[in-house]
Amino acid sequence: MDYKSIARRLSKVEEYRDLHWTGSFSDYLELVRKDPRVARNAFQRVYDMIVSWGQDEITRHKETLTTYRFFQDPFDEGKDAIFGLEQPLAKMVGTLKSAAQGYGTEKRVILLHGPVGSSKSTIARLIKKGLEAYSRTDEGALYTFQWRMSADEPWETSPMHEEPLKLIPSEIRADFIKELLSDVPEDKLPYPVVAKGDLDPASRYNYRELLEKYDGDWFGMLEDHVRVIRMVISEKDRVGIGTFQPKDEKNQDSTELTGDINYRKIAIYGSDSDPRAFNFDGEFNVANRGVIEFVEILKLDVAFLYDLLGATQEHKIKPKKFAQTDIDEVIIGHTNEPEYRRLQSNELMEAFRDRTVKIDIPYNTVLDDEIKIYRRDFNNDVIKGCFIAPHTIEMAALWGILTRLEEPKVASLSLLQKLKLYNGKSIPGFTEDNVKELRETAPREGMQGISPRYIQDKISNALVSEQGEGTINPFMVLNELESGLRHHSLIGSEDLRKHFRDLLTVVKEEYEDIIKNEVQKAISADEDAIARLCANYVDNVKAYTHREKVKNKYTGQDEEPDERLMRSIEEKIDIPESRKDDFRREIMNYIGKLAIEGKQFHYWTNERLQKALELKLFEDQKDSIKLTNLISSVIDKETQEKIDVVKARLIKNYGYNDTSATDVLNYVASIFARGDAVRNS
């Protein structure tokens, strides 16, 4: 193998050169003049990074929602994609937009609040990951600078990766920038270019020393001793991204946030207040120009919260032995419900509450979105050595959503029907406005219930269990979910535990209906037979509505319409005797309308009629297949051949494998053996 050719093919020399650009201060000023976006502040850069991926609009229950493609995780093929949180994410992006425009929210902590496992950490991780990728693009390019005190010394990067425009003296900075951008068109200035604040203490020390050496020749000093470099944000390299996770209170130390004295260098520089003897490597320091994430922010010691308040409101931090130092970064924290309730009850924390923008991040309450979470990790393309039977993921997700919903206050609506309404299904008697009302009367939905993390763990348990002969089915996962409830640490009462178990029963009943319908359709999937039955029904309905007779195809005699046949079909979809005439006229009018439009009527063009025909054919063929014999040990050859045809249809049309198709047929056979009918959903 030619390893050199592979290396050359993978090599990105041009990209490397772009990312390691260096130039003089004058070169940088020219870059700013050509594209003022390089001088954006942290909030502006984060907001632009999110919207740069594009956005879409979806309509859900008469409400138009903006979805940002960024949150589908375009960096890792959807590994951290977030599903079903359009409203909270839109609120967060709105907060960032307001901060980018300088409307006040740039002086707030963005506090993501919600139950465990609701994607708070994932959102923060996505923003950090996105900012890293954005800084490597032309659109997201940003720069910092390096110093050297003499020509024979190495270049040293500004310890807090400061914006180069802050090298311009503060008293002339505004006028200097205004003059620099005087000929830049308005459409190239999405934000005012304002380099706020002073340099960090180490850079300020070098600045003063060199300016004195150059006798005040500021520009000459910059050209000889400063060079501007491209800055690539990287969490691993601790550039532009900081993450702080509280430890126990005895071990918390504020120097983790603002840096600490380098005692080895005190011997060199003679003072612990010399900035050269200080490590500006606290999380606030390294996060300058980017983002800092506070994990479980409300577990912070009170002393830390004081640092946080200054960093938020004033954009300043106080390193030990130094004056307040300016920072430019987005502060994101996340916390759970118990911690936030404790914050609300603590009067001493009022200042912190006043400086936060709380964004609720609930669990999903839309079934299709919940299913996407599990399908990302568990699907037959990814899982090797074990087959996941149809509906396994869906039933686990269904139970998860049910645990998060509040009982509807409408007596005629069940919790399962409410879930289906939220998922976009039509239910007679309920409109889009009703769905909106249901949501408004239950504002805390999604803030409690079972987390996706618990469900993922139980699916994993089922996958590695010894049952199922290499196949897992919904009952195996539902049993895992139920057994885990006995030891679930977040369930605070036996009543709640019983409620969750009762919901598992609801899910099992729903699953039974689904597979009974699938088996019914697999048995009655003979399209020619359905078409013949449909033609026979339509002929009789036509004769009935026109008060005519029907010619018997076998005897050639004219006979009265076959009332018994028509009613046997209509009863399958609950058409009462009193409404049979209306239904038959409705069918004939529908056929006539299609004919006027030049279209042909087929049994599948009317959904209700198709369902009735399938149920009728199922009833007729169920007995000939002798489905109930499946649970006995003796099956004749003819019946076995018919069963094999049904299994083949389940495999082809519904995604089963041989084992799961056999299991479903056996289970449905046992249902029919005890006389349970297919319930209309």
10-residue mean pLDDT series, the chain (681 residues): 57 77 95 95 97 90 86 91 93 96 94 92 96 95 95 92 95 94 90 93 93 91 94 96 80 80 87 88 95 89 78 91 93 89 77 88 94 90 85 96 93 92 86 86 91 94 80 93 88 90 96 89 77 88 89 78 89 88 89 86 80 80 59 63 84 91 86 58 42
Q: What is the pTM of this model?
A: 0.84
Half-sphere exposure of 249 (CA within 13 A, CB side): 6
- Find all residues with CB under 8 Å of 399, minimum gap 6, and list them: 450, 455, 478, 481, 503, 504, 507
Hey, what are 329's tokens? 């970064």
DSSP class of residue 386 equals -
Give all strands (DSSP E) within 356-498, no chain letters.
356-360, 387-388, 471-472
- Find all residues with CB under 8 Å of 102, minimum gap 6, and list them: none
Q: Which SS3 state, helix, strand or coil, does residue 51 take?
A: helix
> Which amino acid does the sequence have at 376?
R
Determine the pLDDT at residue 528.
76
Hey, what are 275's tokens? 């900035």
Determine the pLDDT at residue 362.
94
Q: Taking the CA atoms of 204, 208, 213 and 215 in sequence, report the sign of the dihedral they define.
A: positive
Taking alpha carbons only, the member of 495, 493, 465, 491 closest to residue 479 is: 465
Q: Chain-centre distance of CA 612, in angstroms?
A: 39
Distance between CA atoms of residues 135 and 143, nearest Å: 10
Are 181 and 30 in contact by the 8 Å Cβ rule? The answer is no
Element (H, E) at 617: helix 607-625
Q: What are phi and psi of 598, to 5 degrees?
A: 75, 20
* 157 backbone φψ class: left, alpha, beta (φ>0; ψ -120 to 50): beta
Determine the pLDDT at residue 475.
93
Hey, what are 15's tokens? 């990209």
> Which amino acid does the sequence have at 612?
A
Are 538 and 600 in contact by the 8 Å Cβ rule? The answer is no
Buried b (16+ CB within 10 A) or exposed e, 124-146: bbbbbbbbbebbeeeebbbbbbe
Taking alpha carbons only, the member of 318, 197, 336 closest to residue 257 is: 318
Q: What are phi and psi of 557, to 5 degrees?
A: -85, 150
Determine the pLDDT at residue 503.
96
Are 292 and 331 in contact by the 8 Å Cβ rule? The answer is yes
Burial (CB < 10 A; 0-12, 13-18, 19+), residue 72, is: middle
Distance between CA atoms of residues 505 and 512, nearest Å: 11
Length of the chain: 681
Taking alpha carbons only, the member of 226, 71, 77, 40 closest to residue 146 is: 226
Q: What is the 3-state secondary structure (H, E, C) of 231-262?
A: ECCECCCCECEEEECCCCHHHCCCHHHHCEEC
Hey, what are 495's tokens? 């009543």
Q: Which SS3 state, helix, strand or coil, does residue 299 take?
A: helix
Hey, what are 592's tokens? 């006539």
77: number of Cβ within 10 Å: 10
Hey, what are 359's tokens? 């964004």
Determine the pLDDT at residue 114.
93
677: number of Cβ within 10 Å: 10
Q: Which SS3 state, helix, strand or coil, does residue 142 take?
A: strand
Determine the pLDDT at residue 681.
42
Distance between CA atoms of residues 306 and 254, nearest Å: 10
Distance between CA atoms of residues 531 and 600, nearest Å: 13
Burial (CB < 10 A; 0-12, 13-18, 19+), residue 383, is: middle
Are 611 and 573 in contact by the 8 Å Cβ rule? The answer is yes
> Which amino acid does the sequence have at 357?
V
Q: What are phi and psi of 2, to 5 degrees?
A: -90, 90
First to last CA, the chain: 61
Q: Chain-centre distance of CA 598, in angstroms?
A: 46
Are 222 and 167 in contact by the 8 Å Cβ rule? The answer is yes
